[in-house]
Structure 1
Amino acid sequence: MITERERRKIGSLKRIALVSTPWPLFSRPSIQLGALKAYLDKQFPDLEIDAHHFYLKVAETINYKLYQVVSERTWLAETVYAALLVPEQFERIERVFCREISGNPLFRKAGLKTLAAQVKKVSDAFIDGTDWGGFGLIGFSVCLCQLTSALYFIKRIKRRFPHLCIVIGGSMFAGESTRNLFQLVPEADFVVNGEGEVPLSSLVRYLRASGGHEEIPPITGVISQKTASNEIPTAFSQMETLSNLPPPDYDDYFNLLKTFSPQKTFFPTLPAEISRGCWWRKPKRTSKYSGCAFCNLNLQWSGYRSKGPLQVVSEIDKLTTKYKTLSVAFMDNLLPIKRSEDIFAGLSRLDKDLRLFAEIRATTPRHVLEAMQIAGVQEVQIGIEALSTRLLKKLNKGTTAIQNLEIMKHCEELGIVNVSNLILHFPGSDLMDVEETLRNLEFALPFRPLRFVHFWLGLGSPVWKDPHAFNIKTVSNHSSYAEILPSHISNSMSFMIQAYRGDLGLQKKIWQPVKKKIRAWKKSYAELHRTPLSTPILSFRDGRDFLIISQKRVGAEPSTHRLVGTSRAIYLFCRRHRSLKRILANFPEIAQDRIVPFLSMMVDKRLMFEENGRYLSLAVPLRWAGNSGFSSRDRANT
């Protein structure tokens, strides 16, 4: 029973804690904690909010390089706290750990037992050294790689303070994944389904007005032990607009960083957001699915909302000024296409040498990319995913191979580092997809190599919802959950990462040549860019009425080509992909039987790419390439 003293403490609710456990990227504050703290502080000015970016302390303790390696692999990250949660399964957990480290030399001295002991020491010191009884509520943000670490903290804290109100939220738990969640975390009192600001503020408001959390009425977007059922919650409670969302508060992260020795301090990257959700997920008449077939990244939101340009620019200015760092990573899954140019034009006028990262669609226009580059965007992740238009249709990307090659070329030209992926083993892909990919890879070789990633089945994705359409027979939780969690827990609910039975054996076999090709691509690209002042692999210099194209080759002198007069004009006209009809219309004085052979010759020489009667010139202008090293002020004046 709760004592009257404890009831008064909970009812008054003058202080709450927000916690982010390992393993997010240590070099960034948690935007989840920062956004929630700023919003709650605005709603309740008298409420004391402690945001614990505890993962940063773990990174400082075990070594930043080691932490980074662990944080980049989901199952590796989950094994560390799993070893503390379920010590009786240590041997099984260690097998997962060894499988994931793949002989990495960083782990020669730090096996699972050693690493878990280090993490336990710093975690227990934090748990035991914090007066959790002084808080009326503790909220845990749980995203990818944070499942077992959050469970460890929740169980340890609740054991010491059984009447403390524990709230769980984050992208790991939304929609289907909240079903039976209290079997996994019986220590939790509430789970926030979806975006956290409005539900959590409603919960805080009720707790401040009531005598305890047992008396809380139903709140939209909040699941309690009392209201939990086997029904999948569909109701979100989110802000209608992001216009009233204050800039995130990262004070606690930077205050923690200041306590480290000078050898362990660094300049963090500030997470920021322009939008929430994905406008590509809007239902479409022409498609059976909304959004990309493999994606489950936007389950915690309904619809798509974005901030206005002035709000974004003001927020970035305030954050970089306050925290005295110039690196910013936009966490959006998709930037607002209509507002992006104005946003980045505004950022370029701040007179700050920003270093920006963003995720964009392959259909992002060239003029928007230019505005991004001028503002300071140095790295992007593009939703490329495939170089086969046939496969892109299966992925429901709404793009084509020629569009992907075009934006890869633009990034190469503008000096923007493209860190995009190529998805392999997608269920239902076939030899024709592989053959098209191999053929088109030949034309991608002048550009920064893509990273190949293996398809994984995400809970709630279109593929998961309609498995038979993708040759999937059965779905279940990924087997690694059973290896790192007790069976009664691993079978109690659906987790974010799923496994499936289908054509996986075939997929692994047919995509091997693509893996080999990508490895060779990375090697040749690195060889041809081994010096800091290396020029693009495929570039041109314009002589006004003629054009010289240089095609660099490994182990040989560059191949050069000269285009004169109309040939030059056609090549420059196709710097954006153009249909044959458009080319003929633009050069009416040249007969089709002269233009088509020229285009075919350019394709044969890998100087142009053709797809379904559309043509794209692949060489980038030599005088533009390399300008990415300029400051934003220099770029604005070029």
Structure 2
Amino acid sequence: MGALSAYLRQQEPTVEVECRSAYLEVASEIGLAFYDLISQNSYEVGEMLYTPCLFPQQKQRVREFFVKRMEATGEALTGPGAIVSAAHFGEAPTWEGVFDTLTARLEGHLDRLADALAGRFDVVGLTTCFGQLFANLSLCQRIKQRSPATKTLLGGSTISNQVGPSLLKEFDFLDYIIQGEGEQPLLALVRQLREGQTEMRGTKGVISRATAGELAGGAQLWEVPNINALPLPDYDEYARKAEEGNLLWFLTIEGSRGCWWDRAKRTGNPKATCFFCNLNVQWNGYREKSAERVVTDILALNGRYQTNVLFFLDNIIRAKGIEEFADRVIDTGKDFVIFYEMRASVRPYELLRLWEAGVRYVQFGIEGLSNSYLKRIGKGTSVIANLQAMKVCHELGILNSANLLTDFPGARQEEVEETTQTILDYAQLYTPLNPNRFWLGRGATIDTLSQEYGLSNIRNADFYKVGLPEEVYRRISLLDLSYDSPSTPTDWSSVYDACRKWGRAYAAAKETQYRHLLTYLDSGDSMRLYDTRSGMLNNIVLRGLERDIYMACMEIQRWEDLREEFIETGRASQDEVAAILGRFVEQRIVYQEGSRLEGSRFLALAPAYTAEMATRRIRRAHEAAQLRRKKGTAAPRQEQPVALAESA
């Protein structure tokens, strides 16, 4: 809303534009803790809570669904740490009673909001993302009931592809859909409405009731050619409400649009991306702002709102120029706390510089801990790269809220077993991943190539049957899908068990004097590893050549690089180096990618005891790499995207 409103005001200064962050009002009415709990289940619980506003006959089914889901969370309703407050839901609430009070509050809020908007504005646009669709449709219905002349429109990722046209056909209180990014389509829509044109035929990015049948697959996207030219977002309305509510709120920063790893539209190859992902269906490709422009935005917004917590909206951090971006942020001299989405191809030194710039929260696209499985899902990374990213985050104290994708169609039991073993042998040293079952999203590679993956009976996600009448469920198209698979699902229970053990072991280790399950202290000519993975302390002392080889592997090293450093220089024989590496792998203090020395890569797993120690090591490694580069002997970039899989 901040970006669209600023653009519309810039292009049409005579048009009156207002933003309404109505969800903050909802959070205040039901309590922040409870709002957060619902938001964590927004695709199902959040959506279903608003469907009775459109279909009152579904209310009892939604009530039963809500109670079951809330009971499954294990959250307390009373006593210390109660998730709902007595001020909002009474002294002795039950989940049934909470539902009744909650839905009454939601409907009351919709009525008040509709009263404030209907007749006051010519156009009301609502953005839909992460479980907001039926809330927005419910508001549109109320606005139209009060003011039939008011034009209603939806935008956002939830109404991509076939979803938008199907909603226009189903709901007569909805006038327009904007697909893809909204700046130019919204501007064109406003200008045409002002001139009395309503059909929008031929306007890219816009679907009207008149063109919904012609554009059943979605609209042609209309994108700003140079996002550096966009105006600064306007967060005044949100900031005022957030400050009044005494919230810890973030400045949302946009450094790019789309994902550079997703090349599907550019190449025409549906597999030129992660096969499970549909987060980029609303973009034609990847575009980014210059590092200079991003930092200019940060400084301007920080000066305007005095908030130093930055949340980058980018689906992925830039592929090139990370150091330049970090340096520019550091040079501001300001204290920032930053969240960013990343790929495991980010180098340790790049991550260090980002940490020094203020990055404290990340979400690396880990997804898998089996190389075969990573190829199956089209991730384009490897286990060793994932482990390195997890390790550096752990060392620097960066909270990595990454996911582990399970239950992808076609996964083999040996991939599950490899994942389980990787967790127990290696990954448990670092911040635990969040295991999440695969869900099918419209427009993802696996949806486009569903027959190749053996999926059949693809339909709207089954949970929608709770809140929608059967005939509506069958007619409309929604973004979340369910499907049938001809094969027996692979059993991922061992991975979930391993993740539970991982969480317990990691938390327990942080409370000990060692602070890690495995760590090291380096003396220069020797180093000591402290290994508590067995529950007992195991000291491992490495001297001379052993120490040097281990330190060389602190960042991913190819066998060819180790051979050049230790064998070709005459420091050791090939047998000596191979024997040392073999012992390290057997002790599970080094991860080896590959079964033979030739072509293998190695990563020392022990994290530094403190962030300061990790900083010194990473910086020394970077300086050494620069020196090699000057001499013309630098190794290529450690992690390159792997070849795309040819089939499922």
Letter in 1 for 2:413: L
- Alignment match of 2:530 (pick from 529, 550, 553): 550
Structure 2 Cα separation of the partners of residues 207 and 154 of structure 1 = 18
Superposition map of 1:572-611 within 5 A: 572-588=551-567, 589=570, 590-611=572-593
User: Does residue 451 in structure 1 map to residue 455 in structure 2?
Assistant: no
Structure 2 Cα separation of the partners of residues 215 and 444 of structure 1 = 56
Q: Match of 2:155?
A: 169
Q: Match of 1:150?
A: 136
- Across the aligned residues of Structure 1 and Structure 2, the Cα RMSD in angstroms comes to 2.0
CA 1:234/1:138 → structure 2, altered by over 3 Å: closer, same or farther?
closer
Letter in 1 for 2:480: I
Which deviates more, 424-433 or 93-102?
93-102
Structure 2 Cα separation of the partners of residues 286 and 564 of structure 1 = 54
User: Does residue 274 in structure 1 map to residue 255 in structure 2?
Assistant: yes
The alignment's TM-score, normalised by the length of structure 1, stands at: 0.88
Which deviates more, 332-341 or 95-104?
95-104
Superposition map of 1:37-436 within 5 A: 37-73=5-41, 74-101=43-70, 102=72, 103-105=74-76, 106=83, 108-110=93-95, 111-128=98-115, 130-208=116-194, 210-211=195-196, 213-214=197-198, 216-229=200-213, 231-258=216-243, 260=244, 264-283=245-264, 289-436=271-418
Q: Once the 2 structures are TM-superposed, how far is the Cα of residue 120 of structure 1 from its aligned partner?
A: 1.7
In the alignment, is the contact (CA less than 8 A) between 1:610 and 1:616 conserved in 2? yes
Letter in 1 for 2:28: E
Q: Once the 2 structures are TM-superposed, how far is the Cα of residue 216 of structure 1 from its aligned partner?
A: 4.6
State the secondary structure of the residue aligned to 1:232. coil
State the secondary structure of the residue aligned to 2:419. helix
Structure 2 Cα separation of the partners of residues 503 and 610 of structure 1 = 36
In the alignment, is the contact (CA less than 8 A) between 1:541 and 1:621 conserved in 2? yes
Percent identity, please. 32
Letter in 2 for 1:458: G
In the alignment, is the contact (CA less than 8 A) between 2:557 and 2:602 conserved in 1? yes
Q: Once the 2 structures are TM-superposed, how far is the Cα of residue 414 of structure 1 from its aligned partner?
A: 1.8
Structure 2 Cα separation of the partners of residues 215 and 571 of structure 1 = 68
CA 1:96/1:415 → structure 2, altered by over 3 Å: closer, same or farther?
same
In the alignment, is the contact (CA less than 8 A) between 1:541 and 1:623 conserved in 2? no
Q: Once the 2 structures are TM-superposed, how far is the Cα of residue 247 of structure 1 from its aligned partner?
A: 2.0
In the alignment, is the contact (CA less than 8 A) between 2:396 and 2:614 conserved in 1? yes
After superposition, the C-alpha distances for 1:500-546 in whole angstroms (9 at most, x for unaligned) are 11167523xx2101100000000010111137x86333221111111
Structure 2 Cα separation of the partners of residues 305 and 535 of structure 1 = 41
Structure 1 Cα separation of the partners of residues 514 and 202 of structure 2 = 62
After superposition, the C-alpha distances for 1:217-256 in whole angstroms (9 at most, x for unaligned) are 5311111111221531351111011011122111111223
CA 1:156/1:450 → structure 2, altered by over 3 Å: closer, same or farther?
same
Which deviates more, 613-622 or 311-320?
613-622
CA 1:247/1:203 → structure 2, altered by over 3 Å: closer, same or farther?
same
Q: Once the 2 structures are TM-superposed, how far is the Cα of residue 555 of structure 1 from its aligned partner?
A: 4.4
State the secondary structure of the residue aligned to 1:162. coil
Structure 1 Cα separation of the partners of residues 185 and 452 of structure 2 = 36
Letter in 1 for 2:177: V
Structure 2: runs of 5 or more not aligned: 77-82, 85-92, 595-599, 616-648
Structure 2 Cα separation of the partners of residues 460 and 94 of structure 1 = 31
Structure 2 Cα separation of the partners of residues 215 and 472 of structure 1 = 38
Q: Once the 2 structures are TM-superposed, how far is the Cα of residue 85 of structure 1 from its aligned partner?
A: 2.3
CA 1:288/1:217 → structure 2, altered by over 3 Å: closer, same or farther?
closer
Structure 1: runs of 5 or more not aligned: 1-32, 629-638
After superposition, the C-alpha distances for 1:550-599 in whole angstroms (9 at most, x for unaligned) are 1234743x322111111111111111122223212211132222222211
In the alignment, is the contact (CA less than 8 A) between 1:183 and 1:492 conserved in 2? no
Q: Match of 1:528?
A: 509
Q: Once the 2 structures are TM-superposed, how far is the Cα of residue 439 of structure 1 from its aligned partner?
A: 2.0
The number of residues matched between the two structures is 585
Q: Once the 2 structures are TM-superposed, how far is the Cα of residue 342 of structure 1 from its aligned partner?
A: 1.3
Structure 2 Cα separation of the partners of residues 602 and 534 of structure 1 = 21
Structure 2 Cα separation of the partners of residues 468 and 226 of structure 1 = 33
In the alignment, is the contact (CA less than 8 A) between 2:178 and 2:186 conserved in 1? yes
State the secondary structure of the residue aligned to 1:281. coil
State the secondary structure of the residue aligned to 1:67. helix
Q: Once the 2 structures are TM-superposed, how far is the Cα of residue 625 of structure 1 from its aligned partner?
A: 5.3
